[in-house]
Structure 1
Amino acid sequence: MKLQYFGHSACLLETEGTKLLFDPFLSGNSKCTVKPTDVQCDYILLTHGHDDHVGDTVAIANANDATVIANFELASYLNSKFGVKIEPMNIGGSITLPFGRVKFTLAFHGSSYPGEDGQALYMGMPAGILVTSGKRSFYHAGDTALFGDMRLIGDMNDIELAMLPIGDRFTMGPEDAVKATEFLRPRYVVPIHYNTFPLIEQNPEDFADGAAKLGVEVCIMESGDVMEF
């Protein structure tokens, strides 16, 4: 597997010759150095409906003829409103695709999308996303609080790399993310969803120091950074 990070929660995972784009908030992302027109992908996977995660989904999906994988409400909205191809899912469900298996896990957060009248439209439950390809699993936690069933996710999956939010206020902060790392037991962990806005400013080293004590390799990535695992 190969991972390229774009800042905030956006990343591109390559596995089995397939490119999976997660939460493509690129335009307006102060930490992103990549333009939406520069990104190529086969699938776009969305953890929830907030605009800093849906981001440039429609433009990128149309440019790449990519399929959007999202919870039922969000996927249905994007299909009916913008005509993108979809694979609707929901929490606890999984689907098998040519590159492997996608499963949606719990996440404790909100999920809405701005409507034309300025009112927030309900977009179903937020999710974490597990991708298993061959014997390796990748876990994108999305926006979430710490929750005890993360231990079950770690027990049931051999997670190679986990991406965990550390921004606090709207998600886990560094201390809770360390506990999540303990529960999940990944080989590598990448902190996400911090320093994009003033309200979620954090020092990632605070998280790295705690997670490293668990024997997990912490990778603090900048936009455009690539790692193979």
Structure 2
Amino acid sequence: MPAPTLTHIGGPTLLIELDGWRLLTDPTFEAPGRRYHFGYGARARKVTGPALQPADLGTVDAVLLSHDQHADNLDDAGRAFLPAAGRVVTTASGARRLGGGTVGLLAGETTVLQAPGRPTLTITATPGRHGPTFIHQIVGEVIGFAITVDGSDATAVWISGDTVLYDGLRDAIDAMDVDVAVLHLGAVTFGVTGPVRFTLDTTEAVAVVDLLRPRVVVPVHYEGWSHFRENRDVFEPALVATGADVRWLTPGEATEVG
């Protein structure tokens, strides 16, 4: 299986180069300082800017967008970038909102990327839940992505998306053989919602790694915003204790995770 090259741009935004393909996750390119509204009184400020801008990226074959409704996963600059990508893949509801030929997937559904001289990639939507059950209808849909290269039964790269750990995700993890796992962390909470948490915390991240046992773990989306409650200082010792090969990428630096 080819080793992907990953470039962490900031937050959830990651450039994945895999066997000739160039994929971008959750594009966010705006400068720090702005406060964003997440609905129902929830707000957060962006405190760290991106390491790269769209002009630095070159050709992007597809954007894998875990969800479109929150600015820390798709800000205005990221939204403006979408037409430049060869394809945009996101949730079914997000595709209806974005239009323009966006591919919408429900968990378990697939789409393929094909081009002359390159292996076919199969993109499978994996389940996500952006918080507890009772708040799902308010927060909206989110998915992750499992990327498989033609000729391999294993998942080359899995991106968790913004999710907590729940039974649907456990079932999906049980069915996957993953080489590189990209985990959205941060333990997001908002003052207005009290203790309600919207992304993986340290305990859940460790449980995901223990269940999945990937070759490499790449943490993202744990810094750069005021609504993150756990950062690298908290996650790193816990993830190291799992025995996993954890790669903390330097923003803007292309890294082969072989």
Q: Same fold (TM over 0.5)?
A: yes
SS at structure 2 position matched to 1:199 = coil
Q: Does 1:45 align with 2:73?
A: no
Aligned position for 1:146: 165
CA contact (8 A) 2:30 2:49 kept: no
Query: Normalising by the residue count of structure 2, what TM-score does the alignment of the two structures yield?
Result: 0.75
**Deviation of the 1:22 alpha carbon:** 0.4
**Deviation of the 1:38 alpha carbon:** 2.0
Alignment partner of 1:173 out of 194, 201, 217: 201
SS at structure 2 position matched to 1:12 = strand
**Matched AA of 2:57:** V
**Matched AA of 1:172:** L
Aligned position for 1:102: 123
Runs (4 or more) in structure 1 with deviation over 6 Å come to none
Give the whole-Å Cα distance in 2 for the aligned partners of 1:19 and 1:161. Answer: 16
State, as a whole percentage, how many aligned pairs show the same letter.
Answer: 27
In angstroms, what is the RMSD of aligned CA positions? Answer: 2.2
Give the whole-Å Cα distance in 2 for the aligned partners of 1:161 and 1:104. Answer: 16
SS at structure 1 position matched to 2:209 = helix
CA contact (8 A) 1:60 1:66 kept: no
Alignment partner of 2:23 out of 15, 20, 36: 20
Instruction: Return 5+ residue gaps in structure 2 as ranges.
Output: 33-47, 115-119, 132-137, 190-197
**Deviation of the 1:148 alpha carbon:** 3.6
Give the whole-Å Cα distance in 1 for the aligned partners of 2:186 and 2:139. Answer: 22
SS at structure 1 position matched to 2:252 = coil
The 5 Å alignment of 1:118-197 reads 125-134=141-150, 135=152, 136-168=155-187, 169=189, 170-197=198-225
Alignment partner of 1:207 out of 235, 243, 247: 235
Q: How many residues align?
A: 213
Query: Normalising by the residue count of structure 1, what TM-score does the alignment of the two structures yield?
Result: 0.83
The 1:177/1:100 distance shift into structure 2, 3 A limit, reads same
Give the whole-Å Cα distance in 2 for the aligned partners of 1:85 and 1:138. Answer: 24
Aligned position for 1:7: 10
Aligned position for 2:36: none
CA contact (8 A) 1:27 1:36 kept: no
Give the whole-Å Cα distance in 1 for the aligned partners of 2:139 and 2:225. Answer: 23
CA contact (8 A) 1:12 1:21 kept: yes
